[in-house]
Structures are given as C-alpha cells and as structure tokens.
Amino acid sequence: MKNLYTILLALLCAYSASSQTVSTYRADLDAVYLALKTTPSYKDQIKSENKKRYEALYQSLQAQQPESSLDEFYLLTRLVQALKDNHLGFYQWSNNNVDQLKIADSTYVSTYLNSNEFKFFPKTNMNVDSLEKALTGKPRNDVEGIYYLGDFLKAGIYRTIKHDSLVAVVLSAKQRIWQRGQLAAIINEVSPGNFEGVCVNPVYKIFEYNHRIKYVSNTLNLYYVWTKFPGETDYTSIPAGTPNYQLKNIDAQTQYLRLGSFSTNNKSLVESQRFYDSVKTLVNAPRLLVDIRNNGGGGWKSSKKYLDLIVKHSKKAQVYVLTNYFTVSNAEQFTLKLKGRKNITVLGADTKGMLTYGSNYGKTETTPSGKYKLYLTDMRDDGNYLQYEDIGVKPDRYLSPDSDWIGQVQAIINSN
C-alpha cells in the first residue's frame, strides 16, 4: 500500500491537519513501534535483512508530516502492515466515538453533524451521481460495483488509476451520521481477490486497519460483510439462526455434525462440553459431515475433544469437513489437523488465513495521544502455521457458490 495513499489524496477532499495531529504523531509512532516489538510475530519475522528493512521503514516514517487524521492513521499502519499477523488489530478509539446508542439520540446527532469530525470526514471529489450510474452497470463478478451492508449502508466500490487500488464511498445510509460521498474504505489488491487497507467501521465511524480482505461470491469483507446481491442466498455460509452445535441424520448412512464455535470463555466451554457429552457415543454413521463454516475459532480447550472424536471415528468411517472464508483461527488449525488423514476429505473454500498467532489475554495498548489502540498478540506459532497466514487452508475439493453446499456434499458422497 505504500504508493496507494499518494494517489488517493488527489481523489479525496483535502482538509487541514490540526497542530495536535502533527505534535502527537511521532509519540504515537514510537509507541506503536515499541509495542509491536514485544509480539511473537515481530520476534519470529523481523530478523536479519527483514530487520534492516523494518528499521529503515521506521526511520522513514519518523520523517513524515501527516496532513490529516487519515494520513496519520495510514502512516501508523505501515508498521503493522509489515507483520504477517492477522490477529493484530489497529484502530482509532476515543470516548467520543459514535455508537448505536448515540445514533438514537437526536440531540447528539445534531451536534455531530455540526462538528469538525463530520464536516472534514474524508469525502470523494468525484461526481457521485455519475459514479453510481457507472458502477450499476458493472459485470456481476467484477469486484467493482454497488454493495450493501444490510439496510444500514449502500456503497460504491471503484478502482483508481492505480488499477490494484480501490475506494469505497457511501452512496446512501440509514443513519444521518453518514453523508453521500464519504469514504468507507481504501484498499489495495495484494493478489487476485485478496486485499488489505483502511476501512471505516460503519457503526463507530472510525478508521480500522484490515490486513485480510477477500472478495468471494460477490461479497467483500470490509470489517463487516458487504454484498452486491443482498436478496440472494449465500450458499458458502452457514444459514442464519443455525445453532453452534448440532448432530442430526441427513440420511440412513450419513450424520451431520455442526461445530460453530471453539470459544473458550467460561459460558462457551460449558455449552461445548455439555453438547460433547450428549453426542460422543452417538457419532456412529459410516459417513460423517463436519460443518465448521463460520467458526470464528477459540482454542484447544474447546476443540481438542472434537478433534479426537472425529479422528477416532475416521478409522471406521468416511469424514467430510466443510470450510469457508469465515473458518478462522483455531478452526483453521483444527482443519489442518484433519486434512490429509485417511478417510477425511476437506471441502468448500479456502479458510481465512488468520491462524498463526493469537492472544491469551486480549491485551490492548493505547497510544500516547489517546487516539489509537493496538490489539496485541502474545501466542507464538506452535504448529508451523505461518505458511498459511494470509493464504488460508485450501480444501481438497472446492464447492460451487451457486447451490446448497450440503446438497453438493451429498452428491459427491453418492457419486463415490
């Protein structure tokens, strides 16, 4: 992204930097630099020549003079970008952030609409009417186009003159805190269908750095999931309302085991253990479909018992594991432990690629200015997972996004 921002400055309305931004930038930069040096990802990756390059990057950033809050945020993200660690988080934060309660307060909204935060929020210089018209006619599978975040926001995403760079701008919004033409994201295509960049949280209206954004099945994960066709069924994901844990018979020879979370908070562990105890002797069909789509991960305290159960069952049965882009973290590690074993087949789509590091304690660090937070990782790569970071775990067989995945697996089973 290092050349991206220069180009985008010409596309966005200029607004003046405050003296506070200039005076606090270097202190925040130093704080981010020192905090990142404590992480396992820095210690694993920033060595020898990489260390020289990282130090040179830090020195070059020290010489910068940010011209706006967006400029400052982007410059600070450069240190985070250099690490392959998708559990790291970097975002704006303050006690004055917009939130859902404040949006419902008409007095607050009126005050916000007269504030500098709203008036000087980054906004495109393009003719938005012409942009919307041009994007409406884009081909179905083109990443450019009109996107929807439920009924909350409608945005247009378009490529810049630097073809691998894209901008998302708001076209309409349910809430008045958003104005037509305001920035929703600046992202850069690092490989076909894979992006990174600065996104704006649609509720809190703060900048967030997102290292792993993927365009798949007409959806784009700009912090939340934006879709081009909100009325269509997303076959790649688990249907809304599906319980986290479920065991049922699909037919006389096939069982379906849904594992939707490996969360390790106390409540989740109790729920997970209760379900496991209820099914551990009931998994007995000659074919077992294990569905871990949209499993956001957790830890082995929750998942290990299921791993052992599935591996044991695979010695006498065929096991099929369903994954998608929202199979994340420990769920990806879980997939790797199963993939390649006799009688086990992984189907679906690539997982997220966010599995190497993690956080035991959820530690965050606030920069000296109080404007930014870092979510720090403290767990080392204990399974040679770095090769999958950013890439994800690939299935043994991809499924089509155009029809029901359970039905596709059944067809594969029957064909075998």
Q: Which residue has the tokens 């020898």?
A: 48
Tell whether 254 and 202 lie within a shared domain: no
Query: In the predicted model, what is the mean pLDDT of residues 192-210?
Result: 93
* pLDDT for 161 beyond 90: no
Answer whether residue 69 is part of any domain.
yes
DSSP state of 298: B
Q: How many CB atoms lie within 10 A of CB 3?
A: 11
Total domains in the fold of the chain = 2
- Read off the pLDDT of residues 251-275 as tens digits, 9 standing for 90 and up: 999 999 999 999 999 999 999 999 9
For the chain, what is the largest distance between any 2 Cα atoms, rounded to a whole number of angstroms?
71
Half-sphere exposure (CA, 13 Å, Cβ side) for 202? 21
Final residue belonging to a domain, choices 185, 201, 227: 227
Which residue range is the domain that position 172 belongs to?
A: 4-227
Tell whether 98 and 22 lie within a shared domain: yes
pLDDT the model gives residue 12: 58
Tell whether 306 and 389 lie within a shared domain: yes
Query: In the predicted model, what is the mean pLDDT of residues 288-303?
Result: 97
- Read off the pLDDT of residues 336-381 as tens digits, 9 standing for 90 and up: 999 999 999 999 999 999 999 999 888 999 999 999 999 999 999 9
* pLDDT for 58 beyond 80: yes
Answer whether residue 36 is part of any domain.
yes
Tell whether 109 and 171 lie within a shared domain: yes
pLDDT, the chain, mean:
92
> Quick one: tokens of 120?
């000087």
Answer whether residue 76 is part of any domain.
yes
At position 281, the amino acid (one-letter code) is T
Confidence band of 23 (pLDDT split at 50, 70, 90): confident
* pLDDT for 334 beyond 90: yes
Strand ranges (E), 178-304: 183-191, 194-200, 207-216, 219-222, 224-227, 245-251, 254-259, 287-291
Answer whether residue 31 is part of any domain.
yes
Taking the C-alpha atoms of residue 372 and residue 207, their distance in angstroms, rounded to an integer, is 9
Tell whether 110 and 47 lie within a shared domain: yes
CATH number at residue 293: 3.90.226.10
Sign of CA dihedral 408, 410, 412, 414: negative
**Phi, psi of 62, rounded to the nearest 5 degrees:** -60, -30
Tell whether 12 and 151 lie within a shared domain: yes
